[in-house]
Structure formats: structure tokens, C-alpha cells
Amino acid sequence: MTENIEVFEQNSIRIKSPLGAIYVDPFHMKETPKDAAFLLITHDHYDHFSPEDIEKVVGADTVLIVPEKMRNKATQAAGLVKKTVTVKPGEKYEVDGLEFETVPSYNSLKPFHPKSAQWVGYILILDGKRIYIAGDTDATKEAKAVQCDIALIPVGGTYTMDTKAAAELVNEMQPSVAIPVHYGAVAGKPTDGKEFAALVKNPVKVELKLGGMSI
């Protein structure tokens, strides 16, 4: 179910799909594949919206998808892609064959990701599966309400949930598979993935994919 999902640094993700390669928040990319059919950005922080890394993955036919409030900032990458589409949280979309939903992504008490910014996580509908990429969020009521088969959840703390809060969220959501992200670099420890896995209860399966590691 997850063999086509790769996790690089932070929230940097590539999903191989029948529609082509789908990237989310490319960051510190070591290669220059320029093969993105779609590029989705969750919010405008430097480790999620990195023009240097965007240039490494996009091509002339790439569709860039960003939150509405990033419309002006996204012009930094507009010349590299076919078109830019803006989205708002809590909506359903179909863009060039890609079906997805947006979920509000924000901190409940911390100041780093205010709800008013209208940043988003994404639920991609691919091959009949719902893949939730949460972005930088806490265990909000909207996150708890997500129904998905695969959940990519931040666990590094500081700017997002820590391992305990992330595990509690996943145990409540009950996806088939949970993949921890956003740890071991800008925030969190390299061991956070295993700590998260130890706290997640059956029947949810945890896969550690960050940095190309797959367990």
C-alpha cells in the first residue's frame, strides 16, 4: 500500500502515482529529478516552501498547488511550472485528474502555525486510497476527524505534535498505516520515529520511511 511513498527530510514527500510523481514540500533534495506532475505546498515556512528545492523537482508541465494566502509568495516559482492553483482549508478539489481534500493545519496553543493563516494538510485520493499528509499541525479537531488509509504525521515536537501527541492522534484516527515525518533535522530527534511507533497501538501499522529508511 505504501511502496510508492518516499519520505526525504522534514515533510518532503514523493508519491508515485498513475498521474505521475506527486511531491509535497520538497526540502534539501539531493537529486534533481524534475519529474513532478503535481507539487503541493502545505505552508510558506522555509523548510516547506523552498524555491531552490522546487526548482529541482518541477518541470514545464508541473501543476503547483498552494494555500490561497500563499498566492503572492508562490509567484517565486510561477515561472517554473505550467500553472498555479490556490486552495483553502476544508474543501474538495479535482485538478487535472488529481482528486484531493484540504484539512486545516495549525497549532492549538503554539504560535508558529496560526489557524488564521489558513495553511493546509492534504488528503490525496489515489487508487481508491486516502492518503493524509498533515503538514505542520497539532492534534486538532479537524485532524481527529480525518478518515484515511495512510497518514503521514509530524512527530518532532517544537513546531508540531511530539511523539506522544502524534501517537494519540493516530490511535484515534485508526488509519491502516501511519508514517512519521518532520523529525530528526530542523526539529525532533532521529529516534522520534521509533518512539512514535512504540506508542501506536494495533491494528495501526507504523512504517518508518524518513531519509529513505523503510522498516
Residue 49 in 3-state DSSP? coil
Q: Tell me what pLDDT residue 65 has.
A: 97
Within 10 angstroms of residue 91's Cβ, the number of other Cβ atoms is: 12
Question: Contact, 24 vs 133, CB < 8 A?
Answer: yes
Beta strands across the sheet bearing 98-104 = 92-95, 98-104, 120-126, 129-133, 150-154, 177-181, 205-206
User: What range defines the domain where residue 14 resides?
Assistant: 5-206
Nearest-5° angle of CA 52, CA 103, CA 111? 70
Judging by beta carbons within 10 Å of its beta carbon (0-12, 13-18, 19+), is residue 35 exposed, middle or buried?
Answer: middle
Residue carrying the nine cell digits 498552494: 66
Q: Tell me what pLDDT residue 10 has.
A: 82
What are 63's three cell numbers?
Answer: 501543476
Reading the chain (215 residues) residue by residue, the pLDDT tens digits are 799 999 998 889 999 999 999 999 999 999 999 999 999 999 998 788 999 999 999 998 999 999 999 999 888 888 889 999 999 999 999 999 999 999 999 988 787 888 989 999 999 999 999 999 999 999 999 999 999 999 999 998 788 899 999 999 999 999 999 999 988 777 778 899 999 999 999 999 999 998 754 43
Under DSSP, the state recorded for 80 is: T
Q: In terms of DSSP H, where are the helices of the chain?
A: 51-57, 75-78, 141-144, 163-173, 192-199
Q: Tell me what pLDDT residue 9 has.
A: 81
Pairwise CA distance, residues 169 & 153, whole Å: 9
Q: Tell me what pLDDT residue 6 has.
A: 95
Sign, CA dihedral 160-130-83-62, equals positive
In a domain, 215, yes or no: no
Q: Tell me what pLDDT residue 215 has.
A: 37
In a domain, 114, yes or no: yes
Q: Tell me what pLDDT residue 96 has.
A: 97
In a domain, 194, yes or no: yes
In a domain, 214, yes or no: no
Q: Tell me what pLDDT residue 214 has.
A: 43
In a domain, 213, yes or no: no
In a domain, 15, yes or no: yes
Q: Provide the pairing of β-strand 13-17 with 20-24.
A: antiparallel
In a domain, 211, yes or no: no
**From residue 24, how far is each of 85, 167, 199, 209 by CA, in Å?**
14, 22, 26, 15
CATH of the domain at 23: 3.60.15.10
How many folded domains does the chain comprise?
Answer: 1
